[in-house]
Amino acid sequence: MTERRILTTKGTERVLDDSVIDEFVAGLRGDLLRPSDHAYDAARKVWNGMVDKRPALIARCAGTADVVDSVRFAREHDLLVSVRGGGHDYAGKSVCDGGLMIDLSPMKGIHVDPARRTALARSRPRAVHTMGPAGPIRLGNAVLNSRWRVPPSPR
């Protein structure tokens, strides 16, 4: 059985058995990346190239349940946490050294309900994720123009 060292909220190291981490992974729809994983380096990068932090684990959340499970796991084990939305924070605070990074960037999308006049935007979607012919939709005082589309719900 192998162990992983991870920082706590107090700045001390905690050792977690891989079996504890595997149990956490079993409940995730998204991926949990470790430093040895192929996609780890790309997932920890932010637009500011001077930021070079290395989380012990990266939870790439596929939906709200993954976020809840990640926060619960971090709280149960008193882990240092950072949360990444779009990764645009100049100081790089969306990535922590040695803790658990909860990555919301895979949760891109917009859901528009014209009948209820509501819209739900997830993780700051970029224009490339929302282009398409949907026609104008009025939501209160805002209008989503014809370049916005409603992608299929991830759940």
Predicted pLDDT of residue 22: 95
Work out the number of other CB atoms within 10 angstroms of the CB of residue 21.
Answer: 20
Rounded CA-CA distance 95/84 in Å is: 7
Residues of the chain with pLDDT under 70: 1, 87-88, 121-155
- Domain with residues 3-103, CATH architecture: 2-Layer Sandwich (3.30)
Separation CA 33–CA 41 (nearest Å): 9
- Of 27, 31, 30, 48, nearest in space to 95 by CA: 48
Q: What confidence score (pLDDT) does residue 20 get?
A: 95
Rounded (5°) CA angle 92-109-144? 110
Q: Where are the domains of the chain?
A: 3-103, 110-149
Note the pLDDT of residue 71.
95
Tell me what pLDDT residue 87 has.
66
Q: Which helix (H) or strand (E) holds 139?
A: strand 137-139
Bridge partners, residue 32, by sequence:
59
Structure-token pair, residue 18: 């891989």
